[in-house]
Amino acid sequence: MFFYIFLIVFLLNTIWDTVLSIWNVNYSSRKTTVPEVLRDRFSEEYLKNSSMYLKDVTMVNVILNLINTLISLIFIFWGFTYFENFVLKITDSLILQGLFFFGIIWIIYKILSLPTEIYRNFVIEARYGFNTMTPKIFVSDFLKSLLVTAILFIPLISFLLWILETDNNWWWKISIFFVGFQLLMLLIYPLYLAPLFNKFTPLKDEKLKEKIKDILKKASINISEIYVMDASKRTKKKNAFLTGMGKSRRLVLFDTILNYPEEEILAIIAHELGHYKYKHIPKLLGLNLIFYTFVFYLVNLVYNYLAKGNIFNVSQPYSLFVYSFLFIESLIFFMLPLLNYLQRKFEYQADEFSAKVIGSKYMISSLKRIIKENLINLNPLPLYKIWHFNHPSPEERIKKLLQFSE
């Protein structure tokens, strides 16, 4: 009975996500009117271009999702059992068995998803003038990501396997460790990981730097240096972000954004600083602790249930964990609207901070510029927006910002 429940929940996840994505494309393509608050910068021609971009990107994402689902089904019916038996013949060490088991599965997923990633970058993104990445950089990024992932996850998986072997009620230990791992990533990502892929140089524009430091001082935010990232090596898209914590905290600007008017750059930066001012990072960490504690508690329940039977013809902790996690992950997918709602509230707060510090007209102007240059969809399906958007839609953000200028 559980086997069929497992399959229904797992497939329902993929079916719903696919239907929602295609529905969003059809809904957006039928919307031929620019929202009123955006008509000063956007035309119907823009809607056509953004709809075409949305359609192409969605097609790639749907295909990738279906490929991953097909691979997962092969693993569920046959692969996990086969690879469990395979690693059992290699070594008697449970930790080594688990590392081989997870490593093989991970490599298969990476290799089979590689063609769609290549198509996304060198066909879709290139078609709309975004991609600036060379094949050499793509291969280098791919190999570096494999190496970094292996270095980071070998100790993580080893700890997981050790806990699974020594304690039947492991959910709370793994939850604490997982959130601790996220904290570690916040600390080391800006200093050691991000520089492996991009070059970060201190902002050279002294006039702009002084104005940014003035905002930092007024907001009582301590960030020692502002960096520029060579994003133009990979994309023409624009962005800025605040990353890290403590001494590793960094305010980073894409080099593609430096040609914006100064006040718009300051508005974007003020938005990122708003996340810090309202303590969104520690709040998200707290939410993650609650969320993942709940997730791993449920995974632990299913794990113990599966360990008592022989539902999937597996018996080792790593195999049982994978089946348990896949099942709960499929259920948790239906909690995404709540998590995204909370993050959208954070984005509104960050926009409000920018409006107070720089002025809403500059935040509105910068948003419209980013929306236009990144071909962002102006008319998302409301249900898709609720399910997938962790940022408010362009129309919602502009309307909210206009309230601050009244």
Q: Which tokens hold the place of 404?
A: 């601050």
C-alpha dihedral (143, 146, 150, 151), degrees to nearest 10:
50
Q: Which of 264, 351, 352, 396 is catalytic?
A: 351
Flag whether 270 is in a domain.
Answer: yes
Which one, of 6, 95, 72, 56, lies nearest residue 318 by Cα?
Answer: 95
Whether 329 has a binding-site annotation, put simply, is no
- In contact, 137 and 233? CB cutoff 8 Å: yes
Tokens of 76: 């569920």
Is residue 272 part of the annotated active site? The answer reads yes
Q: Cβ atoms within 10 A of the Cβ of 273, count?
A: 22
DSSP for residue 220: T
Query: How many domains is the chain partitioned into structurally?
Result: 1
**Residue (of 342, 142, 129, 370) closest to 241 by Cα position:** 370
175 CB neighbour count, 10 Å cutoff:
21
Backbone angles phi, psi at 226, to 5 degrees: -110, 130
CATH number of the domain encompassing residue 217: 3.30.2010.10
Residue whose pair of structure tokens reads 């935010």 in the numeric block: 221
Has 391 been labeled as part of a binding site?
no
17 part of a folded domain = no
Give a yes or no: residue 75 inside a domain. no
| Catalytic residue status for 351 | yes
pTM value is 0.89
Q: Does residue 5 form part of some domain?
A: no
Q: How far is CA 316 from CA 87, 265, 344, in A?
A: 10, 54, 41
Does residue 189 sit within a domain?
Answer: no
pLDDT in tens, the chain (406 residues): 888 999 999 999 999 999 999 999 999 999 888 999 999 889 888 999 999 999 999 999 999 899 999 999 999 999 999 999 999 999 999 999 999 999 999 999 999 889 999 999 999 999 999 999 999 999 999 999 999 999 999 999 999 999 998 888 999 999 888 888 888 888 888 889 999 999 999 988 888 888 888 888 877 777 777 899 999 999 998 888 888 777 778 889 999 999 899 999 999 989 988 888 888 888 888 888 888 899 999 999 999 999 988 889 999 999 999 999 999 999 988 888 988 998 999 999 999 999 988 888 999 999 999 999 899 999 999 999 999 998 999 999 999 998 876 5
Which residues lie across from 251 on neighbouring strands?
226, 242
Environment class of residue 79 by beta-carbon count within 10 Å: exposed (0-12), middle (13-18) or buried (19+)? Answer: middle
Enumerate long-range contacts of 46-55, CB under 8 Å, 24 or more apart. 46/372, 46/378, 47/378, 47/379, 49/128, 49/375, 50/375, 50/376, 50/377, 50/378, 51/25, 51/377, 53/124, 53/128, 53/375, 54/24, 54/25, 54/28, 54/377, 55/25, 55/29
Domain assignment of residue 389, yes or no: yes
Cα separations (Å) of 69 from 7, 62, 64?
11, 10, 9
Largest CA-CA distance found in the chain, in angstroms, rounded: 71
CA 406 to chain centre: 34
The dihedrals phi and psi of 201, each to the nearest 5 degrees, come to -125, 145
- Please state the length of the chain: 406
Helix (H, G, I), strand (E, B) or coil at 343: helix
Among candidate residues 17, 56, 264, 272, the one labeled active-site is 272
Left (φ > 0), alpha (ψ -120 to 50) or beta: where does 359 sit? left
Q: 312 lies in a domain?
A: no
Is the distance from CB of 154 to CB of 199 less than 8 angstroms? no
388 is in an annotated binding site: no
Is residue 358 in a domain? yes
Which residues span the domain enclosing 243? Answer: 198-280+341-404
Q: What is the CA radius of gyration of the chain?
A: 23
Quote the tokens at residue 12: 């329902």
Rounded Cα distance between 110 and 112, Å, is: 6
